[in-house]
Structure 1
Amino acid sequence: MAGIDRRTGAIIDDLSSSLQAAVFILSTRISSVVLLREFGGGVIELLGRSMTPSLFAAWQQLIATAIDLWEPRLSVRRVVPTGSVDEIRTGKAGLLIEADFRPRGHLGDYTVERVVGFTLSFGGGIRAVAS
């Protein structure tokens, strides 16, 4: 299955489409989609607060839950921060998300094709880069 890039309109493969969906989910505020008020990641609402271990744990859980809930082609295994302590303090940190890629998950077939790792970086907007 192929998707369409939301910025260029070009045809993209299934993995790129699911990563694009994950970025869209995490960058959308809850209740900002008019006809689907419960849609969103809940992550944006926590940005700007003092980072404590409990808040960071909640943030990791929100990311994993939002992707599991709204993107059936991905099943999150773990979410870990990337970057040094100084980068995290200055807000330049990123996240490494490891997930099972299930290309037919939206059809109810949860067979795992492969495990993917992708990085979310927050400097200059949220971007996903698969590894």
Structure 2
Amino acid sequence: MATIDLNTGKPLEGIDDVWQSIATILSTSLKSLVMARDFGSKMPRLVDHAVSPVTLIDFYAAVPEAINRKSPESLMAEEPRFRIIQMELSDMTDQGHAQFDIEGIYYPRGHLGDYSEARDAQGRVILSDNMVVGSYV
């Protein structure tokens, strides 16, 4: 499975493709795509909320919920090549900047339903200027 890097226009494969996919899922508002209402996350709606313990809990819940949500049409997770093991808030400012470090398992052939090969993977989700900036390795 290969896609195009949104920044460079070059082919993107493997774990780099997974992180770009995760960034797309997290930065898309849930129910905003007409033919795919279950695609996306609650994060774009949460970024305007005041920083509080409740908001942090909502962020912690929104990330795995979006990535591991099963689509009714395909009966597959939004990103079947990645499963979150641990997520930790690594930076937070009063201006709404937040950084979450993610550890998980990367399944190179997970999109084919083959979970026999597994690798450790680490990435980061960054929220800045009231928007989801992205995730990367």
What corresponds to 2:28 in structure 1? 28
Alpha-carbon distance in 1 for matches of 2:117, 2:83 = 9
Runs of 5+ consecutive residues of structure 2 not aligned to the other structure: 70-77
Match of 2:56? 56
User: Counterparts of 2:115 and 2:36 in 1: how far apart (Å)?
Assistant: 25
Aligned to 2:124: 119
Question: Which structure carries more helix by proportion?
Answer: 1
TM-score by length of 1: 0.86
TM-score by length of 2: 0.82
Q: Percent same amino acid at aligned positions? A: 28
Residue type of the alignment partner of 1:126? V
The separation in 2 between residues aligned to 1:50 and 1:122, in whole angstroms, is: 13
Q: Decide which structure has greater strand share.
A: 2
On the 8 A contact 1:19/1:128 being kept in 2, the answer is yes
1:12-71 deviations in Å (ceiling 9; x for gaps): 121111100000000001121121112111111111212332331122111111111210
Alpha-carbon spacing, 1:114–1:26, altered in 2? closer, same or farther (3 Å):
same
Stretches of 4+ moved more than 3 A in 1?
none
> Aligned to 1:102, which of 74, 85, 107?
107
Residue aligning to 2:80: 72
Which of residues 106, 110, 135 in structure 2 aligns to 1:128?
A: 135
- Partners of 2:40 and 2:85 lie apart in 1 by 20
* Larger RCO, structure (CA 8 Å, separation 6 or more): 2
Stretches of structure 1 lacking an aligned partner (at least 5 in a row): none
